[in-house]
Structure 1
């Protein structure tokens, strides 16, 4: 999405001018200089402020957040410090090449990764963007720029993005003391964390408001200039994810059904989901271009990589004799998970299980290859460290799998549940085993593994494992000393200190 991705880069500078605050994590004095009289005079002013809320949503390294005074890793960057990658390496799908506190379940309130606190502090900093959204929503409500429909559309966009940030915070930390009342933005009084039911209501209210906004577009798949912006479909999807998180199966199913009637579909080629923009399967993707690269491929490839091969029966080659980019060797797919794919599964075409090195050697699992390489993005010859490929945050396959899971929890492995995921299986060239539909428990287990195969490396697995109650159990089987309380990450120590006892640390963590 050219407009969004370019403007986000510009808004990094804008954020430093109009979204400043003190360095303390909890202090919001002088939160903003925006007022109806000096900023929101035109629709363009509103648009610029909204684009600033997207700053964390980047596949690039990140941005300098003047509010906290340091460079913050982007949410969807493949760097090991990002929210996306830090969570991914705690699962049964992905492992790192070297010691990592997230993968080893030794993350504490003061854990530092690669010289900075990384995932914990950067993810917690979404609190500031929740507050900024609150301020911007208030500013729009009190200005006369644009028409009423225009203002309502921007408010719905801000509320959907604010809800997604709150959902991410819930996923990582449990309920946190977000600021949703504009009156409190100048007040540095620290409030305690709300209970989970209250917090979830905050998320759901924002999403309901957005969904009920008539001027809010359903989707932007046919609009290259605005693709990547929040839409009504994204609001439904985030609400579905929230209901899935809470195991509210009836409401999760209802939202999945809404999305199933909005014109999305499973496209014919799995690789095209990642190689092409704005397909009928994309609900929300974070765009990349020359101004904001996606470094997933280079983070994935081994340092001695020259060219790779997927399933041996297909002899599929990526890379040529003189056209390759050695990688940074950060993470790979666990062989145990790779082996859950059937040989006939076409999704394996996007996973390398063998590669040639720069020294003329060939590596596979029996000769030094630590794990398989889940490329996802396959139409690149790796000429550059970064690629211009969008990151799919939410796509239609997740909706169908969520519908099937909710329907199964409500009614067992019904024909409707099986029919929902059939387009995914047909594309992958696999079928549902008879044993998988024997009962509710069998189908539940099958859906968890199928979600992994379909959505691997897309940021879903940690929450899927937690929802199914096997996150800690599988970590222990991998040899980690994981504890039940580690389904949540710790609140950063900096926050606990500044709160002076008002904000409670998550159970199990020692400050």
Structure 2
């Protein structure tokens, strides 16, 4: 059997694809260039390659929370199971997430196992080791978020049929990987799409937040602020503009390329209907559509500029008539603009994984959980609200509980359709109760997804999450 390793060699700005296999020269693991191809393969998987890997993360995080809903096309049954809490271990989106992150971990382990080579420069070893640790930290934090404790593969020679590690072992490993990365990563990423010190700190901050390590989360968020590298852009829409990718609000992005079958994404192709006026005939859409609920759209302040990235009506290219969306739970999220360079449904818009506004709101939330409302926490939220053009909050009148609710609401407005809602609602213990209030048969065990059935079939030592 031939093992294919998709390598991405760094160019001036992006990572360009190059394919390697066992039939490649023997220098694959014994030269800096060869080993870099394996590192870039790990990045390629961590960036959620291809259509399904990109949109699966969005849908698992959003369809399950009532943030969005969808219908139409062959994907509708997958969406319905997410909306109705009827998913199981054969769900394609769940399988996709398990696969890509473990593939990334496999390649990062190969890199780490082959770095002890006297032919490699010390600078190369230090940077490459830090990047591999970052990738494992990111991958395992994502897996832990989705599935809870998973098997820990720390070397490329580990038995492939490992049982799940304990909760404490997985948590300790994620933390130590990201701390190791932070210690040796540069402030500026060595190439676009690769890790930086700020990216590793951001992943660690979100990991601490989601595991309710409030003081650690607050401290790392403050350290990110102190780097002096990141900022809120004056214009909210510029954060997502395809012409402004790599801007100073993005700490960790998943780069995409419309010309690459494995590096593009097709999220907009599952949002808009065929008669929506697309700016370029190359912007192909599928039969499925993604919608926002009226209650969410109407919850925005009338002056909130973030609402501008929701399409509440459009003029049909077929009939020439206005098609209303608001009033029928059919408004469209439009944070990801149509890519003028798209190749059919394949778009090259980068996916913002962690933004600076998320870090500010994370620090505010952590501070509130530590000591209740403070002026510092209020100011952090007001930085985000001021950019959105809405009135600031005042400290008076908030309790710890009401401020927690305000932060969760602010995160909903600021980060809608960015794949954050599920983790936010789980962290604040409203994920299940909110689903029940929507009439779903949601149970506590639904906070985690099931281990894919194909993995259980292949590994008798794996144990399924309770409830499935």
Measured against the shorter chain, the TM-score band is 0.7 to 0.9
Counterpart contact for 2:445–2:467, Cα < 8 Å? yes
Q: Distance in 1 between matches of 2:434 and 2:134?
A: 33
Q: Distance in 2 between matches of 1:374 and 1:34?
A: 44
Q: Distance in 1 between matches of 2:346 and 2:103?
A: 28
Q: What's 2:400 paired with?
A: 440
The match for 2:234 among 252, 268, 287 is: 268
Q: What is the CA deviation profile of residues 240-270 of structure 1, one whole-angstrom value per residue up to 9, with x for unaligned ones?
A: 1111111000000111011111221101000
Call closer, same or farther: CA 1:366–1:178 in 2, change over 3 Å: closer
Counterpart contact for 2:38–2:110, Cα < 8 Å? no
Flag as ranges the 4+ runs of structure 1 deviating above 6 A: none
**Cα distance, 1:381 vs. partner?**
6.7
**Cα distance, 1:484 vs. partner?**
1.0
Query: How big is the alpha-carbon RMSD for the aligned residues of Structure 1 and Structure 2?
Result: 2.7
Q: What's 2:457 paired with?
A: 497
Q: What's 2:433 paired with?
A: 473
Call closer, same or farther: CA 1:486–1:7 in 2, change over 3 Å: same
Q: What is the CA deviation profile of residues 8-42 of structure 1, one whole-angstrom value per residue up to 9, with x for unaligned ones?
A: 532xx32xx14xxxxxxxxxxxxxx999x743343
For structure 2, the 5+ residue unaligned runs are: 1-7
Q: Distance in 2 between matches of 1:328 and 1:59?
A: 23
Matched, 1:54 2:13: no
Q: What's 1:103 paired with?
A: 83
TM-score if structure 1 supplies the norm length? 0.81
Call closer, same or farther: CA 1:382–1:219 in 2, change over 3 Å: closer
The match for 2:209 among 244, 262, 271 is: 244
**Cα distance, 1:51 vs. partner?**
0.4
Call closer, same or farther: CA 1:366–1:299 in 2, change over 3 Å: closer
For structure 1, the 5+ residue unaligned runs are: 19-32, 63-72, 112-117, 308-318
Q: What's 1:393 paired with?
A: 353
Q: Distance in 2 between matches of 1:202 and 1:120?
A: 23
Counterpart contact for 2:164–2:462, Cα < 8 Å? yes
Q: Distance in 2 between matches of 1:251 and 1:478?
A: 34
Counterpart contact for 1:127–1:178, Cα < 8 Å? no
The match for 1:193 among 156, 164, 177 is: 164
Q: Distance in 2 between matches of 1:361 and 1:57?
A: 43
Secondary structure of 1:339's aligned partner: helix
The match for 2:17 among 9, 12, 33 is: 9
Call closer, same or farther: CA 1:40–1:60 in 2, change over 3 Å: closer
**Cα distance, 1:439 vs. partner?**
0.8
Matched, 1:85 2:59: yes
Counterpart contact for 2:432–2:444, Cα < 8 Å? yes
Q: What's 1:506 paired with?
A: 465
| Larger mean Cα displacement after TM superposition, 454-463 or 131-140 | 131-140
**Cα distance, 1:422 vs. partner?**
2.1
Q: Distance in 2 between matches of 1:234 and 1:176?
A: 23
The match for 1:355 among 305, 310, 314 is: 314
Q: Distance in 2 between matches of 1:438 and 1:163?
A: 36
Call closer, same or farther: CA 1:235–1:4 in 2, change over 3 Å: farther
Counterpart contact for 1:305–1:327, Cα < 8 Å? no
Q: What's 1:137 paired with?
A: 112
**Cα distance, 1:327 vs. partner?**
5.3
Q: What's 1:22 paired with?
A: none
Q: Equivalences for 1:286-435 in 2 at 5 Å? A: 286-292=254-260, 293-306=264-277, 319=279, 328-357=287-316, 358-365=318-325, 370-378=329-337, 385-433=345-393
Call closer, same or farther: CA 1:179–1:58 in 2, change over 3 Å: closer
Call closer, same or farther: CA 1:442–1:136 in 2, change over 3 Å: same
**Cα distance, 1:132 vs. partner?**
2.6
